[in-house]
Chains A and B, each alone.
Chain A
Amino acid sequence: MFPAPKEEVPVPPVSVASTPKPFRVAADVGGTFTDIVAFDEKSGEAYYGKTLTTPEELVKGILTGVDKAGTSVRSTRLFLHGTTVGINTLLERTGAKTALLTTRGFRDVYEIGRINRPESYNLFFRKHVPLIPRALRFEVSERMNAAGGVHVPLDEAELIATAAQLRAEGVQAVAILFLHSYINPDHEIRAKKLIEQHCPGLFVSASHELSKEYREYERTSTVAANAYIGPRIKTYLGELQTRFEQERFDGSFFVVQSNGGLFDIARAQRECIRMLESGPAAGVIGAKAVCDRLGIANAIAFDMGGTTAKAGVVLGGEVLMAGDIMVGGYAEGLPIQIPLIDTQEVGTGGGSIARIEEGGGLRVGPQSAGASPGPVCYDLGGEQPTVTDANLILGRLSATNFLGGEMKLNTKKAEAALKRNVADRMKISLTQAADGIVRIAASTMSNVVTRVTTERGLDAGDFAMVAYGGAGPLHACIVARELRIPKVIIPPAPGHFSAYGMLMADLRWDFVRTWFKPVNTLKFEELEELFSEMEMEKEGLAMLKKSVKQNQIVCTRAADMRYVGQEHSVNVELPASVFKKRDPAGLKSHFDREHLKRYEFNAPKEPAEIVSLHSSIIGRMPKPVSQAMTAGQIAKRKTPARRKVYFTEATGYVDTPIYNRSELVAGQRIKGPALVEEYASTTVIFHGDSLEVSKFGDLVIQIARS
């Protein structure tokens, strides 16, 4: 399916064989921690490093982490990087002074937005605040019509005069959005060129480079955000590159995008917005890799940390994608219209605060104690009881073995806070309060999990769950039971899982292009040509060819389709057979089937249309091969420690075996109730549930049917 290249591009040898450098390293720079996973390809061993993220010296933090993981960039042949620099720059509003150039008559589109009020009864609601103030939004005489024809030619003289204004204003970045550029980008291309000529050194970004989908507000917001974070990301990645060169790094360096794929530094420095959600995306990619090695087709990736819980979906072995994201939340956030891994998020995490609300109900979150002051038991000044405190009181967390014993937890303080703030006020026991908090948190999280499945007409009960993040393993079995999920998998090192996921990522390029077309008048030649155009995109192709072998390059095609007159479209994969048959009726019935599957009804007699074409080009990277654990001598292992742990009202506190994860061996079976502790996480196994250690070290838990 992949078209043959027109000219021969020399394919450099993939460096595996010729280099003695055995390390493949992933660095996930989060808001609080920088996680490093170093995979030694020779031994098949993985090494982990965790350092505090130092916002002023991110590069130094990475190098320290690599050092902690027991390796160096010099002995690394492949370095993968995900960072929150982009998203933080947006959320904290610390980006560049940016200007917008847009079609005459439309400079306020960015400020007006979609005019909606999600908080319908809130008189004090606030709209999104644009990244570019009105005074820096300039109008240019030009106009395309909806068919892509020139209605008003681009006024170049006027544009050049505006360029002078941009220089005078001292802007650092420029975003360009012209109406209908998704279908004809000529004016955007020309304007960008002129601005680059007349304002050398500015970061210039045009909307069609990032999105070829209709919706002018969303595209404006996307290109504005890209320009706004651009200079900072560009500098950051540049520094990283320089520093790595100084450290004599000569391997390949890739950045993780929100679609879970990798791209090279040059492109990452221009299309910065694509790396916004690299951490969460990598987690889902990791979950997919776990599914692959265990032979699981459908799974929910469940990530619970200190402040949020996130869920993504693997369906039929593929990660499900979304077309946009609202950065900063639905109510006031800014839309970014790029393909990315679909994750839903809820403000429930270990740090979520439990409180009695005014009307007398018990609430958990979304307020969070965060990392500082943190839960009461951290003893860092927190006074409001959190989910973590509840888990400690229930015996599910160890007061002495938290973070491998690096941090002692104060149970007494946690109990006092919970008693004062919740138990006494509700006239229930401390245990009931703690148990209630965890159950409420789990129900909130199970609702977010259902959101990713039911919106597509899928049933969570048909999925397995891969749980990770510091607090994921602690709550996974409760959430799974709530959703009738039969199987939970806790991968090794769940606290470093996003970094691990990066190691499993492929090179990937996603294209979306709006193309309104009725299916019955569709010409396959035209369709084929449009897809080929996307698949032949020069720069993406060059990147792929440089890094992977030709036979490792695959393309997938899909289309957003809908019944004529319908507004919302359904993303339908287009298998090769569709193109072979060249039969519009076949395409139509393919769509009918998908619609029925997702929404419980379809309309075979109704005409359908295509809205957008999707093309993904994937360069399959050689993956680290997880070394199978040796089935050790179970008899030799130590007798597990025990402590009192509360499970349910029926069981109360039970004397429970506590296993150390590092001592488990492949094939080992454990029946609940039990706890498995490791450095940054604890897995809780309930009565009736049973665990088996996979040969890759995953904890595979069968959930008993209630």
Chain B
Amino acid sequence: MASLVKSVKKNATLKKAPTRPAKTTRKIKVDPVVTEIVRNAVVAYTEEMKSNLMRTAYSMIIYEAQDFTVGLFDARGDIISIAIGLPNFVRGLSDTVKACMNHFGLKGMQPGDVLLTNDAYITGSHLNHITLVVPIFEGRTLVGFSGCMAHWADIGGALNIMTRDIFSEGLQLPVLKIYKAGKLNEELLSIIQMNVRIPERALGDLHAQIAAVRTGARRYLELIGRYGRAAVLDGIAAIMDHSEALARKRVREIPDGVYEAESFMDDDGVDEGKRIPIKVKVTVKGDEMTVDLTEVGMQVKGFYNSGAAAGKGCCQVAFKCLTSAMDKPINEGSFRPLKIILPPSRVVSATKPAPMRRWMTYPMTVIDTIFKAVAPAIPGKVIAGHHAELMSAVMNGQHPGDGKLFILYGGTPGGGWGAKKGADGANATICINDGDTHNSPIEQVEAHYPVMVEHYGLREDSGGAGQWQGGMGAIKKVRATSDYMFNTMVERVYCRPWGLFGGHPGLGNEVRIQIDREPEIKFPSGKILGRPMKSGEAYVLMSGGGGGYGNPLERPVEKIEEDLRQGYISRRRAEGCYGIVFDQKTGNIDRAATLKLRGRLRGLSLSLARPEMEDAALVEEAIEAIDAMEIPAGLYLTDGRVFPFRCC
């Protein structure tokens, strides 16, 4: 009791370091050298937090998949530096820090506190995202926060089903203190232990997270000790101002205007086949950009919702990609020229009790749609649509070795990325919400889980044709060597990655099942939940290809020849999508005939409304039109030009 009284007294003297207002017109005089040293230092510190977490985390999903985000924040909770982790969690961590701060208030926090929450509507994501926050005090003064979100392999809740509310998704922890003035909250630990399936792993990850946030806090205090509080805080303010100035300059380079685009998600897994509109409006005026997500679909019954932090996160990710992609540290200043309009209860601003387990999927399509909207304004800076899916396969069951429950996050084969002006899209690369995420080595997975991988390769012909071709997706085929429960939650099977400026869409994502050695069964939807998989059965994940960029007829014959040589595309595609004519006898490209055909195709002009929707009726209509014009079989018409089709 005595110590409690004492700590209350202590709190009474706590104060917050003065921070400058978010936007300032006052030019403060800062030491440019100390500022640069602070810049280097905060990047190094957050990288250290990251490596510290990765090296000690228990879960493969933290170490290999890098499903985490760490950062340092100022006394207002604004981002000083973030190390990614999850690119789309750029807002979630800062919003969570702010929520923690508001919950306890300045007087409710003291040195030695470690705050914790997994409130899905604060983090904007799912309950697996346990977030820790350490308020950093220099003496009695709050000078900032150190924060860390990491994905726990399990947080309880129902497995193998489509959840319909947050309560079925696991343990919910409001903003709490796991350490109070340096003292561990044992009761909270017991509650966690009782509610998660693999407690030793959860507590291991928790320890790793605590070590990481404490490291960040310690380094930040060392920096202040070395250069003085005022110099460091002024330096941080100056870094944010630099980033802001830079971002504004880049926005000014975008022509003013209102840019809109729309795309669709397949369905929410409950109302099958009911498309969900992702409609964005981007307004550029002077040095400010506004992204309006009002017309994005309303929150859904299935678990594909995410919270406002994720919705805002999408806009910030897209904005950063376009304005300051490589700048470090990732900080609040970069985002100041961006305004976001996001009313509640949309799929990316869901409210309680919406289910959130697959929070990460829809935001990726929102990001791509923002690129699509601004493409006419800045054609050289955007990319065509990508596969936009993590493509996970989640398996659980009894391990044949020790009989214990195992949960395996498999899949993640990577997928095709959109082409851009000047370069083909990347092949088999992780989707945009996941940054430095790695796939798991086959040799590692097979050594630890009852699976055998039969094939892992590029998906030929899957990238959209174009002057620059979309990246190829990947195919991964995995056979069960014991019985387990199998789940996939794959989206964008129907709404395929779109092309830009005449580029073709890539192939959509796809899931197949093979029973023994029978032919593979293509699933009409990418969503398979709670399927008991028998030993000997296999699943096949086929990730989509990226959209193409520019008219395929402009792709140099040499490049097509090289793609053929390497087996990236088939002859059929070369003929059907690129207007290549082969010499019947030699099998080589007939250059003269190719030139002639390509010239003829360029002269034609027809259009399809929404090629990425692959509307069967429109395709039929187009084919009929082509047949009438006596053009070689199968051509694809889009964006006011004629392009080959039926190649894929």
Task: Using CB atoms and an 8 Å cutoff, list the residues of chain A in contact with chain B.
Answer: 105-109, 111-112, 114-127, 133-135, 145-146, 151, 179-180, 182, 214-218, 357-364, 426, 428, 432, 435-436, 439-440, 443-444, 447, 450-451, 454-455, 516, 563, 565-568, 599-601, 603, 606
Instruction: Give Cα distance in the complex from A252 to B198, angstroms.
Output: 58
Q: Are B565 and A135 in contact (CB under 8 A)?
A: yes
Task: Pull 18 A–B residue pairs with CB atoms less than 8 Å apart, ordered by A.
Answer: A111-B427, A114-B438, A117-B429, A123-B381, A126-B423, A134-B566, A179-B443, A216-B442, A216-B443, A359-B246, A359-B327, A435-B33, A436-B33, A436-B36, A440-B33, A447-B43, A447-B44, A600-B214
Q: How far is the CB of A58 from chain B (nearest CB, A)?
A: 34
Q: Are B317 and A361 in contact (CB under 8 A)?
A: no
Question: A112-B414, A116-B437 in contact; A123/B249 too (CB < 8 A)?
Answer: no
Question: A121-B325, A568-B56 in contact; A361/B239 too (CB < 8 A)?
Answer: yes
Instruction: Give Cα distance in the complex from A447 to B40, angstroms.
Output: 8
Q: Are B87 and A121 in contact (CB under 8 A)?
A: yes
Q: Which residues of B contact A428 (CB under 8 A)?
A: 32
Total interface residues on B, CB under 8 Å, equals 92
Q: How far is the CB of A362 from chain B (nearest CB, A)?
A: 5
- For A123, A126, A218, A565, the residue with the greatest tally of chain B CB atoms inside 10 Å of its CB is A123
Question: A114-B439, A115-B412, A121-B317 in contact; A360/B245 too (CB < 8 A)?
Answer: yes
Question: A179-B443, A440-B33 in contact; A568/B429 too (CB < 8 A)?
Answer: no
Q: Which residues of A contact B23 (CB under 8 A)?
A: none
Q: Are A105 and B437 in contact (CB under 8 A)?
A: no
Give the contacting residue for B36; candidates A119, A121, A180, A363; CB below 8 A: A363
Q: Are A444 and B40 in contact (CB under 8 A)?
A: yes
- For B207, B413, B456, the residue with the greatest tally of chain A CB atoms inside 10 Å of its CB is B456
**Nearest 9 CB-CB pairs, A to B?**
A120-B435, A115-B414, A359-B242, A567-B63, A436-B33, A359-B246, A108-B457, A105-B455, A146-B446
Q: Are B437 and A115 in contact (CB under 8 A)?
A: yes
Q: Which residues of B contact A435 (CB under 8 A)?
A: 33
Q: Are A123 and B54 in contact (CB under 8 A)?
A: no
* In the assembled complex, B426 has its CB within 8 A of some CB on chain A: yes
Instruction: Give Cα distance in the complex from A16 to B436, angstroms.
Output: 54
Instruction: Give Cα distance in the complex from A516 to B48, angstroms.
Output: 28
Give the contacting residue for B207; candidates A440, A444, A601; CB below 8 A: A601
Instruction: Give Cα distance in the complex from A588 to B454, angstroms.
Output: 36
Q: Are B383 and A603 in contact (CB under 8 A)?
A: no
Question: A108-B456, A108-B457 in contact; A455/B55 too (CB < 8 A)?
Answer: yes
Query: Closest B-chain residue to A448, C-beta based?
Result: B44
Q: Which residues of A contact B87 (CB under 8 A)?
A: 120-121
| Interface of chain B residues 246 through 260 with chain A (CB within 8 A) | 246, 249
* In the assembled complex, B321 has its CB within 8 A of some CB on chain A: yes
Q: Which residues of B contact A362 (CB under 8 A)?
A: 32-33, 35-36
Instruction: Give Cα distance in the complex from A362 to B568, angstroms.
Output: 45
Question: A121-B87, A135-B567, A444-B40 in contact; A565/B58 too (CB < 8 A)?
Answer: yes
Give 6 A-B pairs besides A359-B246, A362-B35, A440-B40 with Cβ atoms closer than 8 angstroms: A111-B458, A117-B437, A180-B443, A214-B443, A435-B33, A565-B200
Instruction: Give Cα distance in the complex from A567 to B565, angstroms.
Output: 39
Query: Closest B-chain residue to A602, C-beta based?
Result: B207
Q: Are B204 and A566 in contact (CB under 8 A)?
A: yes
Query: Closest B-chain residue to A151, C-beta based?
Result: B452
Instruction: Give Cα distance in the complex from A436 to B235, angstroms.
Output: 14
Q: Are A565 and B456 in contact (CB under 8 A)?
A: no
Q: Are A450 and B44 in contact (CB under 8 A)?
A: yes
Q: Which residues of B contact A603 (CB under 8 A)?
A: 200, 204, 207
Q: Which residues of B contact A114 (CB under 8 A)?
A: 438-439
Q: Are B429 and A115 in contact (CB under 8 A)?
A: yes
Query: Closest A-chain residue to B454, C-beta based?
Result: A105
Instruction: Give Cα distance in the complex from A364 to B324, angstroms.
Output: 19
Question: A216-B443, A454-B48, A565-B58 in contact; A123/B420 too (CB < 8 A)?
Answer: yes
Q: Which residues of A contact B325 (CB under 8 A)?
A: 119, 121-124
Query: Closest B-chain residue to A213, C-beta based?
Result: B443
Q: Which residues of B contact A601 (CB under 8 A)?
A: 56, 207-208, 210-211
Instruction: Give Cα distance in the complex from A363 to B448, angstroms.
Output: 47
* In the assembled complex, B37 has its CB within 8 A of some CB on chain A: yes
* In the assembled complex, B105 has its CB within 8 A of some CB on chain A: no
| Interface of chain B residues 34 through 81 with chain A (CB within 8 A) | 35-37, 39-41, 43-44, 47-48, 51-52, 54-60, 62-64, 66
* In the assembled complex, B348 has its CB within 8 A of some CB on chain A: no
Instruction: Give Cα distance in the complex from A91 to B319, angstroms.
Output: 34
- For B208, B239, B429, the residue with the greatest tally of chain A CB atoms inside 10 Å of its CB is B429
* In the assembled complex, B447 has its CB within 8 A of some CB on chain A: yes
Q: Are B320 and A121 in contact (CB under 8 A)?
A: yes
Q: How far is the CB of B172 from chain A (nearest CB, A)?
A: 24
Give the contacting residue for B429; candidates A127, A359, A600; CB below 8 A: A127
* In the assembled complex, B123 has its CB within 8 A of some CB on chain A: no
Q: Are B443 and A361 in contact (CB under 8 A)?
A: no
Question: A117-B436, A601-B211 in contact; A440/B56 too (CB < 8 A)?
Answer: no
Question: A145-B452, A440-B36 in contact; A123/B84 too (CB < 8 A)?
Answer: no
Q: Are B39 and A361 in contact (CB under 8 A)?
A: yes
Instruction: Give Cα distance in the complex from A115 to B387, angstroms.
Output: 13
Q: Are A112 and B37 in contact (CB under 8 A)?
A: no
Instruction: Give Cα distance in the complex from A146 to B443, angstroms.
Output: 7
* In the assembled complex, B382 has its CB within 8 A of some CB on chain A: yes
Q: Which residues of A contact B211 (CB under 8 A)?
A: 599-601
* In the assembled complex, B326 has its CB within 8 A of some CB on chain A: yes
Q: How far is the CB of B435 from chain A (nearest CB, A)?
A: 3
Instruction: Give Cα distance in the complex from A440 to B63, angstroms.
Output: 32
Q: Are A361 and B52 in contact (CB under 8 A)?
A: no
Instruction: Give Cα distance in the complex from A145 to B40, angstroms.
Output: 46
Instruction: Give Cα distance in the complex from A426 to B36, angstroms.
Output: 13
Query: Closest B-chain residue to A358, C-beta based?
Result: B246
* In the assembled complex, B130 has its CB within 8 A of some CB on chain A: no
Q: Are A118 and B245 in contact (CB under 8 A)?
A: no
Give the contacting residue for B321; candidates A107, A123, A179, A436; CB below 8 A: A123
Q: Are B441 and A443 in contact (CB under 8 A)?
A: no
Q: How far is the CB of B247 from chain A (nearest CB, A)?
A: 9
Q: Are A126 and B426 in contact (CB under 8 A)?
A: yes
Instruction: Give Cα distance in the complex from A3 to B456, angstroms.
Output: 43
Q: Which residues of A contact B66 (CB under 8 A)?
A: 116
Query: Closest B-chain residue to A454, C-beta based?
Result: B48
Instruction: Give Cα distance in the complex from A363 to B39, angstroms.
Output: 10
Query: Closest A-chain residue to B63, C-beta based?
Result: A567
Q: Which residues of B contact A568 (CB under 8 A)?
A: 54-57, 63
Give the contacting residue for A606; candidates B39, B204, B446; CB below 8 A: B204
Q: Are A215 and B441 in contact (CB under 8 A)?
A: yes
Q: Which residues of B contact A151 (CB under 8 A)?
A: 452
Query: Closest A-chain residue to B565, C-beta based?
Result: A135
| Interface of chain B residues 338 through 393 with chain A (CB within 8 A) | 371, 381-383
Q: Are A108 and B458 in contact (CB under 8 A)?
A: yes
* In the assembled complex, B444 has its CB within 8 A of some CB on chain A: yes
Q: How far is the CB of B627 from chain A (nearest CB, A)?
A: 36
Give the contacting residue for A443; candidates B32, B40, B413; CB below 8 A: B40
Contact indicator per residue, chain B 307-322, by CB within 8 Å of chain A (1) or not (0): 0000000000100110
Query: Closest B-chain residue to A125, C-beta based?
Result: B426
Q: Are A116 and B443 in contact (CB under 8 A)?
A: no
Query: Closest B-chain residue to A606, C-beta based?
Result: B200
* In the assembled complex, B243 has its CB within 8 A of some CB on chain A: yes
Q: How far is the CB of B393 from chain A (nearest CB, A)?
A: 15
Instruction: Give Cα distance in the complex from A435 to B37, angstroms.
Output: 13
Instruction: Give Cα distance in the complex from A516 to B446, angstroms.
Output: 12
Q: Which residues of B contact A451 (CB under 8 A)?
A: 44, 47-48
Give the contacting residue for B447; candidates A115, A146, A358; CB below 8 A: A146
Q: How far is the CB of B578 from chain A (nearest CB, A)?
A: 19
Q: Which residues of A contact B51 (CB under 8 A)?
A: 455
Question: A360-B245, A450-B48, A455-B51 in contact; A216/B441 too (CB < 8 A)?
Answer: yes
Question: A122-B321, A214-B443, A358-B246 in contact; A567/B430 too (CB < 8 A)?
Answer: no
Question: A105-B454, A359-B246, A447-B44 in contact; A567/B32 too (CB < 8 A)?
Answer: no
Q: Which residues of A contact B457 (CB under 8 A)?
A: 105-109, 112
